[in-house]
Structure 1
């Protein structure tokens, strides 16, 4: 399931006319890149959770079959967060990958899914390493105000959620049908019940395209090494405007 219903407010004014999932990365809608990656990883059925400008996103695929993938469309009448849209779907029958529609990444989706299936976790979160350079000296003091540490312009490292999850059907019992809920709250509720939630740390490329600056960085990364994200065959099909069995243009 791909969460593609957001308004993309931080990308305005561009998203006044183009929904964020169709925002071009070097000429290719980010959502199309994600779907091709999922197909290459072995996925065959994807549900798109839509909201803002849903009609434009649906029209970009020309139907329920695109690039060898079966597509379903789920419509949010009002924003339900990053976990709430799961309640609009029929109950899961098996482990399901859920992700945001605004990510450029070279994560190995198949390996993530396989690792989860081998675990005892109800959820696995893809984690990316993020580094932040502090422009000033960082000082720590104890209760008596004595300096205990002083580091000049350190680099801080954090593991952040990559916006990609593999979830078990049992998690749906923790959601209220039609209610708003975000993924951190859902997974916190699972952990409170003693359920296992695992992290999958990957050290590849990960770009959120939520702001104009982030979109620019993602575009530069994709342009510099397209083969890192899409195979040469997929690239040629996209640039030619055609796809497998004419499906990329909805034929």
Structure 2
């Protein structure tokens, strides 16, 4: 139960790590005697980060103080518990005694005895797999980046499996560099039923070929890099995108960067004021996954080299709404660089 409990003095960053550890998108906030104070969901944390709250801030102002709970005496009332889960759309329910002390956490999976099932969705998933993978040379001199193996399967299969486990199986893969090897691999394994390939005769940037792509009638579509692995709830991402009426939602990872040196801070006269020894800084960095409204596709010019950053700049200039969906850095692995590739080998 430890991974479900946090204190109000804990930081948003610490709470996010606990949420990632327990896998239930929520933590229970308690006092020093484990008395229930409320709950904090990953959505609450995202709202705080979007409002530019420092991720190292205390959770005290941001957790829900009117959370749902059940008294230990009523745990046999399964109908009541079931209604709480289904009608209130919550992921866990704290069980407390007469003094309000948390005795147990009831989660969706341990109550219903199964994970939530996802309906198959038609939303297209576009995987950008045409790059040369220059940062992973010399491996990519032989294999295209999407087929770089991590333990027992290539990185692109991790991406496909994450989407299919969330109900998305309508895939479009853009290819260019060593494209025939990628085609041959998927023809051999015959694991995925709905994959369409789009060959770029010449490189056209990360999203240039989308102008020629015939997507089915849909409200939204995903775009993802082929060298990232994200452990997120895609249904929650879609809900966030829709609820906030975003034109485009970008997934960003809360990333801590440590400076391995003493950093000099100067005063207004240019003299040394103090040295901050090996400081760390937190940023939100682009994780390489995007959710777009379908009508954004028409902004991509035909037969031109066009990167996703070009599209973002146009949307910003036209004042379209671009949302940011923050995730914990432990939920994101970018195998496009050697340090992260080694991390993937250890953690997957």
Instruction: Give the TM-score normalised by structure 1.
Output: 0.81
Residue of structure 1 in register with 2:314 after alignment: 189
Q: Is the 8 A contact 2:227 2:334 kept in 1?
A: yes
Q: How far apart are residue 206 of structure 1 and its match?
A: 1.1
Aligned equivalents of 2:176, 2:220: Cα separation in 1 = 24
**Which of 326, 331, 340 is residue 201 of structure 1 equivalent to?**
326
Q: How far apart are residue 176 of structure 1 and its match?
A: 1.1
Residue of structure 2 in register with 1:82 after alignment: 206
Residue of structure 2 in register with 1:215 after alignment: 341
Match of 1:165, SS state, is strand
Change (3 A) 1:143 1:84: farther
**Greater Cα radius of gyration, structure 1 or 2:** 2
Deviates more, 1:1-10 or 1:85-94: 85-94
Q: Which runs of 5+ in 1 are unaligned?
A: 223-251
Q: How far apart are residue 64 of structure 1 and its match?
A: 11
Residue of structure 2 in register with 1:10 after alignment: 135
Deviates more, 1:138-147 or 1:156-165: 138-147
1:20-59 alignment to 2 at 5 Å?
A: 20-59=145-184
Residue of structure 1 in register with 2:238 after alignment: 113
Q: How far apart are residue 25 of structure 1 and its match?
A: 0.6
**Which of 238, 246, 270 is residue 145 of structure 1 equivalent to?**
270
Aligned equivalents of 2:185, 2:204: Cα separation in 1 = 24
Aligned equivalents of 2:323, 2:273: Cα separation in 1 = 34
**Alignment length, in residue pairs?**
221
Q: How far apart are residue 123 of structure 1 and its match?
A: 0.3
Q: How far apart are residue 140 of structure 1 and its match?
A: 3.2
**Pairwise CA RMSD:** 2.0
Q: Which runs of 5+ in 2 are unaligned?
A: 1-125
Deviations 1:172-229, CA, capped at 9 Å, x for gaps = 232211211221221121111111000000114211111333222111110xxxxxxx
Residue of structure 1 in register with 2:31 after alignment: none
Aligned equivalents of 1:141, 1:23: Cα separation in 2 = 46
Q: Is the 8 A contact 2:211 2:298 kept in 1?
A: no
Instruction: Give the TM-score normalised by structure 2.
Output: 0.60
Change (3 A) 1:13 1:170: same
Match of 1:60, SS state, is helix
Q: How far apart are residue 170 of structure 1 and its match?
A: 2.3
Residue of structure 1 in register with 2:50 after alignment: none
Aligned equivalents of 2:263, 2:300: Cα separation in 1 = 42
Q: How far apart are residue 148 of structure 1 and its match?
A: 5.4
Deviates more, 1:49-58 or 1:177-186: 177-186
